[in-house]
Amino acid sequence: MVGAACAYYAARRGLRVTVLDRGSVAGGTTGAGEGNLLVSDKEPGPELQLALLSTQLWRDLAEVLPSRIEYEAKGGLVVASDRTGLAALQEYAARQSAAGVTADVVPGERLRDLEPQLAPGLAGGVHYPQDAQVQPALAAAHLLRAAGDRVSLRLGEEVTRILAGTRGEVRGVRTPSGDLHARHVVNAAGTWGGELARLAGVTLPVLPRRGFVLVTEPLPRLVRHKVYAADYVADVASDSAALQTSAVVEGTPAGPVLIGASRERVGFDRTPSVAALRRLAAQAVRLFPALAAVRAVRTYAGFRPYLPDHLPAIGPDPRRPGLLHACGHEGAGIGLAPATGRIIAELLTGGQLPLDITPFRPDRFGGGVAG
Amino acid sequence: MARDRSPAERVGAVPDPAFEITFDGRPLVALPGQSLAAALWAAGILAWRTTRVGGRPRGAFCGIGHCFDCLATVNGAPNRRACLVPARPGDAVTTQEGHGHAAPGDR
Amino acid sequence: MPHPVTDDPEYDLAVIGAGPAGLAGAVAAAELGLSVALLDASSQPGGQFYRHPAPALGATRPEALHHDWATFTALRRRLADSTATLLAGHHVWTVVRAEARDLWDVHAVTGADGDRDRPVRVRARAVLLATGAYERHLPFPGWTVPGVVGAGGAQAMLKSGLVLPGLRASPAGARPGAGARVVVAGSGPLLLAVAATLAAAGARVPAVVEASGYLGYARHPRTLAANPHKVAEAARHGAALLRHGVRLRTRSAVTRVHGSDRVEAVTVSRLDRDWRPVRGSGRRIACDALAVGFGLVPQLDLATGLGCATRRARDGSHLLDLDAQQETSVPGIWAAGETGGIGGVELALTEGELAGRAIAARLGGRAAAGGSGRGRALRRRRARMRAFAAVMAAVHAPGAGWSRWLDDTTDVCRCEEVGAGRIREAATAFGARDARTVKLLTRAGMGWCQGRMCGTAVACLAAEGREQGPPPAPERRPLAVPVRLDALAALTGTAASDPGEPEEHAAGEDSTGG
């Protein structure tokens, strides 16, 4: 998704772009995502600024792209079960509001006006109308298509080498089918961004974080918003390797309800974790008792790419001129893709940056040019 | 001569007493030990579901619980695989429309 | 019984699937002293091959619809006489490693398809996957019309429910079953068996339509000579069909079904060597039902969830990669029967017994009776039958031209009603190069059946018009069967052994879901 957005905005700036992927469009984490376009889960700070810009850009893209991408400005609803939790949530929402987020406190007795099937007895919640959803694979595919003739796709081609000139500057990439020359190379390899960086001789400590999504049988519209419990917010910034799960429950236009958000740091292991599935199911049923008798038909694992400070790497790599990074967005890659793509396009064309990208500097973790 | 022998005759079936089930309110005879799909087939009924998108009729296809085409609403509960669920006296099978769930609440 | 069923029983061996391979494996292992749990989704053992009516149907001659019924009853008796525990009605949805010790957790739900599901966990030191196969389907215009059924499905419904497909509502007192005309079509040796069984049970079979030619077998005379039972089986079916006046049309396929609410007729077209329909060769055959299938594909969901290595068969399907002992690439996980390649009942029985003996040897059971002589004989039989299975897979492998009989509006995915046109568009215009991406872009394979019916077709269409890329990985289905959310949520006893416990919530935050 991030690569597609970079290609789209770069092409609109008049650049010719070749998108390489060793698999299919949306073959990596994009295809395993739920399509969360969230501001609600982000602390005030640089990531939230990126998310707010993306929210606007997604709204613009939804005008341009066909409705098949299933963009829905459905809003998020974060709930708390007791007064202590609600107080913490309200305090958090107030800080977000100060940073430009629309966050409306919803008293417990009004929650079911927004979500009629929500469990009774919850203390209250916060409604985030800016949260939205998109079907990520369709969005990526249609975004690439909308980019037009300036973008050419080379799928099933793995980059085996970054070509460099005499002064160490990037000259292109090598794949099994030959060399491709380019003045700039953008690393949008997501979870595998660290490997691509290594090919360029620089270190970028991208790590995989496993997440599961449970998918139910097709249902009528039972869940209207993105609904989750407040502890999801804490998980995002968590630095713990222990399993932390709180269910994000949402309906989809196609019918199934998606239940997601477990996070584990276990390397590239797709083995189902029974504990994670149990937790997802239990929390979803607790939020929406009507889901109890509903069957899960599928579950899948994806690997969220994260960097040690949980911020993405966006921008030029001073250690390797011509190389830019656009990866490490953790669970927010779909949401943050348009803003990332915009920034990369501005950087490539010498345009004005929409926000300060210093916090996203790719070389902020140290480590120089290898070899 | 084997032709025109029914399957039950072929295996020398002496079943326990038959009972009644209903399909969309119409009474049918089922044999104990038969799946709902078998009882429906025996009554000449091939379809007991309409699809979510096209509203097309469907019934049993794979016969062993893999394809989920034979989903039926049984005694009010949707999405039961008729090829797996045994028929029981008094079962009410109704043609399942689409996902089979009632629209929730006010919507 | 050394291991009575409790909430959390522990066995030496859990066998998943009580078909020929699983039964043979469970019996062999139990007779060599292992404690064995044999799990199966059905209410009675037998699997698909030995599927038979429930006791209440009172079949006095179940063998009339079966070949070699005595083999099954003998196994069933040995099972009953052994210490093995049969866990019928258990739908296994995943197998995972129990971290703490060298054990496996087999997770199942019981209950009549979503009704009062109860989660059950069975622990064992070793697992034998005998999950068999399901039918491969290729779509064609009209294949979703009621009355089109799987060839194996028609046989299963007949064997267990004593019904024929395509019956019409008859006036009271009329002979049930009389008059159903069933065309049998597709490819593979199962078609002859299905047609013979249907005809024996009173169906009229206007034609058996086989897409391949049987001449393919003639190219492997030595393999045929080494497997006389297979030749005899084919001859037996052929003779039965002759007796019933059934016409066999080879190098032909049903390319269209006529009728909207039920089958009225089919069009049968001749095929060229690549299975492309020959223009103008279509002939209409009136019928009440069509039983269709294009061979079998191994059921590997539990195995791929465990990370077991697979390889490709000659017909493109994925098989488990097994060693000489029937063990998968994951130590402690074994497999027998169709999961290692479609080979039929005798091969499944042979491999099941080999696996049971090997597991007993590994886990310190008694030495096998008959000693190494029996083992050698079993291994020889396996090699011979595996060779035949490879020939069979090659002869009946779908030809690349089959997709020519689709039109753009033909639903390829039955669950989500996704037409061939949309799948081709995803591949040509939107960068989908494999079934997984087609699924993401079109929802083909995302419905209730999770691509089991359309998977082969979608993979073919996604690869159309491109030279062969790297072979796709087998489909992953971490939930091998649907599981109610309250059953998933109620899983007990799993937490202690699962990685990632205990859960740590960040301080200061409310935990609605914790």
Residue C475 — pLDDT band, cuts 50, 70, 90? confident
Domain C10-133+297-369 identical in fold to domain C137-167+176-294: yes
A218 and A289 within one domain: yes
* pLDDT tops 80 at residue C14: yes
Residuewise pLDDT in 10s, chain A (371 residues): 999 999 999 999 999 999 999 988 888 888 888 888 999 988 899 999 999 999 999 999 999 999 999 999 999 999 988 888 888 889 989 999 999 999 999 999 999 999 999 999 999 999 999 999 999 999 999 999 999 999 999 999 999 999 999 999 999 999 999 999 999 999 999 999 999 999 999 999 999 888 889 999 999 999 999 998 875 445 555 544 333 346 789 999 999 999 987 666 666 666 768 888 998 999 999 999 999 999 999 998 888 899 999 999 999 999 999 999 999 999 899 999 999 999 999 999 999 999 999 999 999 998 766 44
What residues of C are in contact with residue B81 (Cβ under 8 Å)? 113
> Of A350-359, B63-72, C223-232, C302-311, which gets the smallest average pLDDT?
C223-232
Of A306, A333, A350, which closes a domain? A306
Max CA separation in chain A (angstroms): 68
- Whether residue B107 lies inside any domain: the answer is no
Position A243 scores a pLDDT of: 31
- Compute the average pLDDT of residues B15-37: 96
Pair (A265, A322) in one structural domain: no
pLDDT reading at C456 higher than 70: yes
pLDDT band at C436 (very low <50, low <70, confident <90, very high): confident
| Residue C29 CB-density burial (10 A; 0-12 exposed, 13-18 middle, 19+ buried) | buried
Supply the pLDDT for residue A34: 85
Is residue A10 within 8 A of residue A340, CB to CB? The reply is: no
How far, in Å, CA of A120 to CA of C295, rounded?
52
Q: Are residues A284 and A318 in the same domain?
A: no
SS3 label, residue A99: coil
User: Would you say how long chain C is, in residues?
Assistant: 514
The residues, ordered by sequence, that sit 6+ positions from C163 with a Cβ below 8 Å of its Cβ are B7, B34, B38, B41, B42, C157, C177
What CATH number belongs to C406-489? Answer: 1.10.10.1100
- Which of A80, A237, A297 lies nearest to residue C482, judging by beta carbons? A297
Closest CA to C147 of C203, C192, C65, C202: C203
| Domain-located, residue A53 | yes
Kindly tell me if the per-residue pLDDT of C191 is higher than 50: yes
The two three-digit tokens of residue A329, written as one number: 């967005």
Residues in chain C within 8 Å Cβ distance of A266: 499
Inter-chain residue contact B107 with A117, CB threshold 8 Å? no
Contacts with B103 (C-beta within 8 Å, 6 or more apart), sequence order:
A220, A221
Residue A95 within any structural domain of the chain: no
Distance from CA of C454 to the nearest CA of A (A): 16
In angstroms, the CA A225 to CA A249 distance is 8
Burial C83-100 (b: 16+ CB within 10 A, else e): ebbbbebbbbbbbbbbee
* Residue C157 predicted with pLDDT over 80: yes
Place of tokens 């006489």: C81
| Nearest chain A residue to B107, by CA | A221
Average pLDDT over every residue of C98-114: 85
Provide the chain A residues 72-131 that lie in CB contact (below 8 A) with chain B. 116-117
Kind and range of the H or E run holding C11? strand C10-16
Are A156 and A201 contained in the same domain? yes
Question: Which tens digit of pLDDT belongs to each residue from B43-100?
Answer: 999 999 999 999 999 999 999 999 999 999 999 999 999 999 999 999 999 999 999 9
Q: Provide the pLDDT for residue C192.
A: 94
* In the predicted structure, residue C138 carries a pLDDT above the cut 60: yes
CB pairs below 8 Å between B and C: how many?
200
Q: Are residues A294 and A148 in the same domain?
A: no
**Are A220 and A316 within one domain?**
no
Q: Are residues A344 and A313 in the same domain?
A: yes
Domain ranges, residue A233: 207-306
C466 Cβ contact partners less than 8 Å away, ≥ 6 residues apart: C433
Which residue bears the tokens 């196609």? Answer: A254
- Confidence bin at C238 (pLDDT 50/70/90): confident
Structural domain includes residue B4: no
Q: Same domain for A196 and A252? A: no
CA distance A134 to A69: 6
pLDDT tier for residue C281 given thresholds of 50, 70 and 90: very high
Reply yes or no on whether the pLDDT at B2 is more than 60: no
SS3 track for C378-390:
HHHHHHHHHHHHH
Distance CA C147, CA C150 (A): 10
Give the CATH number, domain containing residue B42: 3.10.20.440
pTM (two decimals)? 0.91
Residue linked to tokens 């079949």? C59
Question: Residue C214: which pLDDT band, with cuts at 50, 70 and 90?
Answer: confident
Q: Which of A306, A327, A347 is the last residue of a domain?
A: A306
**Could you tell me the CATH number of the domain that includes residue A343?**
3.50.50.60
Do residues C119 and C6 make contact, with C-beta atoms less than 8 angstroms apart? no
Q: Please, what is the average pLDDT of chain C?
A: 88
| pLDDT exceeds cutoff 60 at C196 | yes
A284 in the same domain as A219: yes
Domain count, chain B: 1
Tally of structural domains, chain A: 2
Residue A293 and residue C111 in contact, taking contact as beta carbons nearer than 8 Å: no
- pLDDT value at residue C95: 96
| pLDDT tens for each residue of C365-395 | 676 656 678 999 999 999 999 999 999 999 9
Confirm if C190 and C154 have CB atoms less than 8 A apart: no
Residue C501: what pLDDT? 28
Give yes or no: residues A141 and A10 share one domain. yes
Q: Which domain holds residue B85?
A: 15-96
Beta-carbon separation of A242 and C511 below 8 A: no
**C-alpha span between A289 and A278 (Å, rounded):** 15
Q: pLDDT of C45-58, one tens digit each?
A: 999 999 999 999 99
> For position A117, what pLDDT does the model report?
96
Query: CA C430 to CA C441: how far, in whole Å?
Result: 8
Say how many C-beta atoms besides its own lie within 10 A of residue B90's C-beta.
10
Residue length of chain A? 371
Top-confidence range, C175-179, C289-293, C385-389, C424-428: C289-293
| Residues A241 and A291 both lie in one domain | yes
Q: What is the pLDDT of residue C513?
A: 26
Name which residue leads in pLDDT, A60 or C464.
A60
State how far the Cα of A202 lies from the Cα of A47, in Å rounded to an integer.
Answer: 24
Q: Which of A306, A321, A352 is the last residue of a domain?
A: A306
**CATH architecture of the region C137-167+176-294:** 3-Layer(bba) Sandwich (3.50)
**C452 CA: distance to closest CA in chain B (Å):** 7
What's the mean per-residue pLDDT of chain A? 90
Chain B contact partners (≥3 CB pairs within 8 A): A, C
**Nearest beta carbon to residue C469 from set A156, A233, A297:** A156
| Residue B8 in domain | no
Superfamily name with CATH number, domain C10-133+297-369? FAD/NAD(P)-binding domain (3.50.50.60)
Inter-chain CB proximity A218 and B103 less than 8 Å: no
Backbone angles phi, psi at C456, to 5 degrees: -60, -45
- Identify the chains in contact with A, defined as 3+ C-beta pairs within 8 A: B, C
Residues A193 and A257 in one domain: no
Residue B5 lies in a domain: no
Are A297 and C502 in contact (CB < 8 Å)?
Answer: no
C502 cis-preceded (ω within 30 degrees of 0): yes
CA angle A43, A44, A46 (to 5 degrees): 105
Q: With CB atoms and an 8 Å threshold, state whether C146 touches B86.
A: no
Q: What is the DSSP letter of B25?
A: T
Query: How far is A7 from A87, CA to CA, in rounded Å?
Result: 43
Domain ranges of chain C: 10-133+297-369, 137-167+176-294, 406-489
Percent of chain C predicted with pLDDT > 90: 72
pLDDT of amino acid B92: 98
Chain C partners of B7 at a C-beta cutoff of 8 Å?
65, 158, 162-164, 177, 201-202
Reference C20, options C52, C46, C51; nearest CA is C46
Pairing mode of beta strands B19-23, B92-94: parallel
**Least CB–CB distance from C202: residue in B6, B52, B79:** B6
